[in-house]
């Protein structure tokens, strides 16, 4: 007997029927996600891969670049083809695919050097994503920015296509991971009751959510802990008059603390714990470019600043970009933002 879940139907039925038709018609399916993949990107990709394999499809995940070590515990990671490492294999899979599923990104530039390969492929393309303003590169676009993660959206898609029975324990583990990481372990964007109905359903597959939290979010190398401590104690600048914070890490500091991909994950959120601080920027010198991360709370939107100054974008409260200029220039741009917000606040106070 199929148990009905009391979750709201959000994805239009025509879209689900179309997706089902496309999946039925396909045998070789490639799943891809954004560059510097996070828990939601990898979780949704592997979660869907396991489900499609159970369905009898030949499904492979191709990522634009490496995944962080914190996610390698997920079942199926060893099977991922990383474009920057195995370019020929990735191209071969994409050339032979009859369907490409794009998860957790809304524009082709988000897959970096993989973009022309995907764009040139004759395969049909499906986008399933929760970022604002999709570019419209896919034949079928399932875009729901109101969802807190692509994994949550993916669960809806699977459930309302009537395929819940194909969610294995492995698939559930991956889907749960993305829901957890994109909400900071259910501490933001997480007030929708339906989330917890989905979690209950995933737990019924026998997943250990406490262990997933410990491995994916709460495991730190000694260097990472020390880098975080250093960044917060020595490198955090506050702008109390505009409610902002900035942390900058230069290349020498990253080398000193033996920085590994993922080591500064969530650092940008830390200043937001201080009362009165409602926006925060983190700048990291990755040599090729300056990695920009921005976070905010409440109505304060950071995505506009990332778009305008750093060639990036994102969500209202979580955005980022890759700035092609010097660290000093990027820093100055954040100072300018702080200064203009301060002036706006001053003007408001004068008017009151
Ligand atoms: P993070 O700071 O964790 O790298 O990114 C937070 C969010 O900002 C991501 O989920 C994504 O929506 C957005 N983001 C990060 N980097 C970029 C970028 O280079 N371009 C755009 N458009 N969005 C980005
Ligand atoms: Mn996401």
Between 351 and 21, the higher pLDDT residue: 21
CATH for the 222-351 domain, from 3.10.310.30, 3.30.300.30, 1.10.540.10, 3.20.20.30: 3.10.310.30
CB of 295 sitting under 6 A from ligand 1: no
Distance CA 197, CA 204 (A): 11
Ligand nearest, relative to CA of residue 181:
2
- State the ligand closest to the CA atom of 33: 2
Report residue 290's pLDDT band, with 50, 70 and 90 as the boundaries: very high
Give the confidence band of 150 by pLDDT, cuts at 50, 70, 90.
very high
pLDDT for residue 346: 85
Distance 277 CA to ligand 2 centre (A): 24
Query: Per-domain residue ranges for the chain?
Result: 13-216, 222-351
**Would you say domain 13-216 falls under CATH 3.90.1640.10?**
yes
Span from the CA of 247 to the centroid of ligand 1 (angstroms)? 17
Query: What is the CA(334)–ligand 2 centre distance, in A?
Result: 25
- The pLDDT > 70 percentage for the chain reads 99
pLDDT at 222: 95
pLDDT tens digits, one per residue of 218-268: 999 999 999 999 999 999 999 999 999 999 999 999 999 999 888 998 999
Q: How far apart are CA 310 and CA 65, in angstroms?
A: 21
Task: Over range 68-79, report the average pLDDT.
Answer: 96
Closest to 171 measured CA to CA, from 199, 207, 143: 207
Give the span between the Cα atoms of 192 and 186, in whole angstroms: 10
Residue 290, ligand 1, Cβ within 6 A? no
Q: Is the pLDDT of residue 351 over 90?
A: no
pLDDT of residue 274: 98
Kindly state the average pLDDT of the residues 71-96.
98
Q: Is 293 in the pocket of ligand 1 (CB under 6 A)?
A: yes
Q: In a mutational test of the pocket of ligand 1, which residue from 111, 313, 317 has the highest number of ligand atoms less than 8 Å from its CB?
A: 313
Query: Ligand 1 pocket: which of 306, 314, 322 to mutate (most atoms <8 Å of CB)?
Result: 314
Q: Is the pLDDT of residue 278 over 90?
A: yes
pLDDT at 262: 86
Ligand 1 and 50: CB distance under 6 A: no
Q: How confident is the model at residue 3 (pLDDT cuts 50, 70, 90)?
A: confident
Whether 269 has a pLDDT exceeding 60, the answer reads: yes
Answer whether residue 2 shows pLDDT above 80. Answer: no
Query: What is the structure's pLDDT at 1?
Result: 52
Which residue minimizes the CA distance to atom 19 of ligand 1?
321
Mean pLDDT of 312-332: 95
The pLDDT of 93-109, averaged and rounded, is 97
In sequence order, what are the beta bridge partners of 238?
Answer: 245
Which residues, in sequence order, are CB contacts of 323 under 8 Å at separation 6+?
283, 289, 290, 291, 292, 309, 310, 311, 312, 329, 330, 333
pLDDT tier for residue 125 given thresholds of 50, 70 and 90: very high
Sorting pLDDT into bands at 50, 70 and 90, what band is 72? very high
Asked if the model's pLDDT at residue 320 lies above 80, the reply is yes
CA of 40, nearest ligand number: 2
Give the mean model confidence (pLDDT) for residues 171-195. 96
Mean pLDDT across the chain: 96
Using most ligand atoms within 8 A of CB, pick from 319, 322, 325, 330 the residue to mutate for ligand 1: 319
Looking at ligand 1, which atom is closest to the CA of residue 321? 19
The CA 306 to ligand 1 mean position distance, Å, reads 9
**Structure confidence at residue 119 (pLDDT):** 97
Neighbours of ion ligand 2 (CB under 5 A): 40, 104, 150, 182
């Amino acid at each position: 007997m199929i148990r009905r879940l009391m979750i709201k139907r959000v994805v239009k039925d025509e879209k689900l029927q179309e997706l089902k038709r496309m999946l039925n018609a396909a045998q070789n399916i490639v799943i891809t996600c954004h560059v510097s993949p996070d828990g939601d990107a990898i979780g949704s990709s592997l979660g869907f891969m396991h489900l499609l394999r159970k369905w009898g499809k030949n499904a492979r995940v191709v990522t634009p670049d490496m995944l962080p070590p914190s996610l390698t515990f997920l079942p199926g990671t060893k099977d991922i083809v990383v474009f920057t490492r195995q370019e020929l294999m990735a191209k071969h899979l994409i050339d032979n695919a009859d369907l490409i599923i794009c998860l957790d990104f809304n524009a082709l530039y988000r897959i970096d050097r993989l973009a022309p390969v995907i764009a040139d492929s004759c395969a049909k393309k499906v986008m399933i994503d929760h970022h604002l303003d999709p570019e419209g590169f896919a034949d079928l676009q399932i875009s729901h920015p109101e969802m807190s993660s692509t994994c949550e959206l993916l669960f809806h898609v699977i459930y309302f296509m009537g395929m819940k029975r194909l969610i294995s324990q492995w698939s559930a583990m991956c889907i749960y991971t993305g829901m957890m990481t994109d909400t900071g372990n259910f501490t933001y964007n997480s007030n929708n009751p339906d989330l917890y109905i989905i979690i209950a359903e995933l737990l019924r597959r026998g997943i250990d959510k406490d262990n997933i939290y410990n491995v994916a979010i709460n495991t730190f190398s000694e260097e990472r802990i020390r880098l975080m401590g250093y960044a917060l104690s020595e490198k955090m600048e506050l702008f109390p008059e505009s409610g902002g914070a900035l942390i900058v890490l230069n290349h020498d500091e990253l080398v000193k603390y033996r920085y590994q991909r993922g080591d500064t994950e969530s650092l940008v959120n830390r200043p937001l714990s201080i009362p009165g601080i409602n926006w925060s920027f983190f700048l990291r010198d990755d040599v090729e470019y300056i990695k920009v991360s921005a976070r905010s709370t409440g109505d304060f939107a950071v995505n506009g600043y990332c778009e305008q100054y750093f060639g990036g974008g994102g969500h209202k409260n979580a955005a980022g970009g890759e700035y092609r200029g010097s660290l000093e220039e990027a820093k100055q741009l954040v100072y300018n933002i702080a200064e203009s917000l301060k002036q706006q606040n001053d003007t408001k106070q004068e008017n009151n």
